[in-house]
Chain A
Amino acid sequence: MNKTEKKNTPVVEARFSPASLLRKIIGSVSKAHKTYGLEWWIMIAGIVIVLFMLYMAFFPQTIAPFSALDQDTGPQLSAPDKTHIFGTDNLKRDVFSRVVFGSRTILGVAFSAALLSSIIGIPLGLFSGYFGGALDRILSLIMDSIYSFPGLILAIAFAAMLGPGVINITLAVSVIYIPTYFRLVRGQVLTLKEELYVEAAHSIGAPNIIILIKYIFPNVIATVVVVFSLNIADAIMTEAALSYIGLGLPAGIPDWGMDIAIGKSFLPSGVWWMITFPGLAIILLALGFTMLGEGLAEILNPRLLEK
């Protein structure tokens, strides 16, 4: 079966063209699907969710029927119907539109926070693991301490001190994930350091910085990519939690966690839609990044997540 397929595709690669590129992508996709099975589909599902959410974040106007702040979209606290598919809130705002516009906030914060933690955590881990010594020991102790402490509680302390604001909440979220990258990268560097080719580079007098960038860093990337994706999922949960307890953003910015907090006061009177939909959105978004990360883990480095 396999063999005949191979024979049918032309052996000589055509010069670069969109069609050949497409064929190549489809080829590797179908091959990967055969090899990885279920994991592959999980990753695809993750990608679809993430892309959908990204579209929502970049072009909310194309989806949302109202603006997120419009306080005159219809009756107050009305249950989902045809015009307001997710209902309206206490200020007569359209819940669906708020969910759509809210994706922007949470994605922005989570992505920037993950990026910031990785930008700080990765180099620290690289240097600490590579050079070792007292600095490494102190850094590790600090990072391990932060790592073993409930991250959200730290983030609460930070966020409260910094006050509300998009930048502040991003900082608060990013601080608690620096140790994740540090520990991951440092651990890998420790094993890579012993590899033959690294020692060989060493012995011919390659400078440390070159060795780090050329020989060690590329080997860490696969793991970092996986963890980055999972990390965004975590950061999403943390951002939502912070804004749920009122430490996140000023009132003007639509935000899922905050909407849940507002909806909470109307819950006893049976207003379920103000809470349910932003919550589902959080789940879906976090799930998308988790699935993407796990699929990637399976494909790039099967043993990574088992630990």
Chain B
Amino acid sequence: MKGLLRYAITRILLTIPMIFILLTVVFLVLRVMPGDPVSAMLGAHAPERVIEEKKEELGLNKPIIIQYFEYLGQLARFDLGESMVLKQKVTDPIKEKLPATIELTLWGMFFTLAIGVPLGAYAANKRRTGRDFGIRLYGNVAYCIPVYWMGLMMQLVFGVWLKWLPIAGRTSPRIMSSLFSNTGFYLIDTLLAGNLRAFGDVAVHLLLPSLTLGIVLSGVFVRLTRANMLDVLKSDFILAARARGVSEKLVVYKHGLKNAFIPILTMLGLQFAILLAGAVLTETTFSWPGMGRLLMERIYLRDYPTVQGVIVVFAIMVSVISLLVDLLYAAVDPRVKY
């Protein structure tokens, strides 16, 4: 247990250079490129003097390198700073939007795995049959579907034509927002409040966006699972289990799938990054009030601190997930101990 803790701490420390580098890149890009928040705020025709004053006030007149180190110093104190365009701390909108994005990505991940892994395993088991070919085709096509397009198609079919499911937002307008002050995870909040109707409403809103993510990303997992399953099914222990009379179902899904899942786990961290990118697009498509929409809004406003803050939070999310994946890895594979 102690080893585990030490491992977790080292892992977290290791993510600091990554966040640092990403920030540097983003910082540079934001500052070097033309356009600045003051002109964006005051309009291009504001008098020179007013612009200068405003810049002075925001500290944008200092040399970039000084701005950079000041920002780093701030970060080291776990302070993301204040928004440049709105009177709020950077953490305020993030606190509000982060749960929405996490809720979306986690369910997206769930659907991704729930669709991709069984299909891939099944295809491997039926290798070189029509069904295998069909599933492989699905995997390749799904991988090439733009996630927003998939989302729009889902909206078209289930929202516009069939009118079964809502196509925008996290809740219906009638649901009281006071319900959601607890955690920000609406599914949990509504359950805590014991309001099943609201829970149903939230779940229904979550369904299309997360299913969209799941379908598109499942393509990668179909391919991964199938390839790993094929490898595993060639192993000696599979043959040995068959030779002991173990049923085909157990051989393939208990021994085969679990062993094939280990290399898949190691890829999960990287796939999560793709999932996050997909989530940003899905948020735009489904008017989902999350981090992706926040990022887009603030980019247009040239709100540097908030944009940087959002990037930091995304980087932390990626790191946390790969840490969790490692822990899961240790839980599944008895050979791994930290």
Contact = CB atoms under 8 A, between A and B. Distances in A.
Interface of A: 38, 141-142, 144-146, 148-154, 156-158, 160-163, 233, 237, 240-241, 244-245, 257, 260, 263-264, 267-268, 270, 272, 275-276, 279, 282-283, 286-287, 290-291, 294, 305-306
B114 interface: no
Interface stretch (B42-50, B81-89, B138-146): B138-146
Interface of B: 17-18, 21-22, 25-26, 29-30, 33-35, 133, 140-141, 143-146, 148-149, 152-153, 155-156, 159-161, 167, 227, 231, 269-270, 273-274, 276-277, 280-281, 284-285, 292, 295-296, 299-300, 307, 311, 314-315, 318, 322
Given A146-B22, A157-B307, A287-B141, A267 B156 contact: yes
5 contacts: A144-B18, A153-B311, A153-B314, A244-B284, A276-B153
The residue in B29, B35, B152, B299 that gathers the most chain A C-beta atoms within 10 A of its C-beta is B152
Given A146-B25, A283-B149, 15 more contacts: A148-B318, A152-B281, A157-B307, A160-B299, A160-B300, A161-B35, A241-B148, A267-B152, A279-B152, A282-B146, A286-B144, A287-B140, A287-B144, A290-B143, A291-B140
A141 B17 contact: yes
Contact of A275 (B149, B161, B269): B149
B322 to A, nearest CB: 8
Given A141-B21, A150-B314, A283-B141, A241 B281 contact: yes
A279 B141 CA distance: 12
Which are the 4 A-B pairs with shortest beta-carbon distances? Answer: A152-B277, A279-B149, A161-B33, A286-B144
Contact of A145 (B17, B149, B274): B17
Contact of A149 (B145, B285, B318): B318
Given A145-B21, A241-B148, A275 B156 contact: yes
B152 A275 contact: yes
Nearest to A237: B146
A157 B284 contact: no
A156 B29 CA distance: 11
A150 B274 contact: yes
B284 A270 contact: no
B43 to A, nearest CB: 17
Contacts of B296: 156, 245
A260 B295 contact: no
A50 B35 CA distance: 39
Contacts of B145: 279, 283
Contacts of A157: 26, 29-30, 299, 307, 311
B164 to A, nearest CB: 15
A25 to B, nearest CB: 27
Contacts, number: 131
Contacts of B285: 264
A232 B274 CA distance: 17
A165 B29 CA distance: 17
B281 A245 contact: yes
A233 B144 contact: yes
Given A260-B149, A264-B152, A150 B273 contact: yes
Nearest to B21: A145
Given A244-B281, A267-B156, A148 B149 contact: no
Contacts of A268: 159-160, 167
Contacts of A156: 280, 295-296, 299
Contacts of A282: 144, 146, 149
Contacts of A257: 146
A212 B185 CA distance: 54
Nearest to B20: A145
A275 B160 CA distance: 14
A153 B280 contact: yes
B229 to A, nearest CB: 12
A286 B274 CA distance: 16
B109 to A, nearest CB: 14
A182 B119 CA distance: 33
Contacts of B18: 141, 144-145, 148-149
B120 to A, nearest CB: 14
A240 B146 contact: yes
Nearest to A238: B277
A94 to B, nearest CB: 20
A244 B18 CA distance: 29
Contacts of A151: 273, 277
Contacts of A152: 277, 280-281
A124 to B, nearest CB: 15
Contacts of B143: 290
Contact of A244 (B30, B35, B146, B153): B146
A191 B307 CA distance: 40
Nearest to A306: B227
A264 B289 CA distance: 18
A209 to B, nearest CB: 29
B79 to A, nearest CB: 21
B152 A260 contact: yes
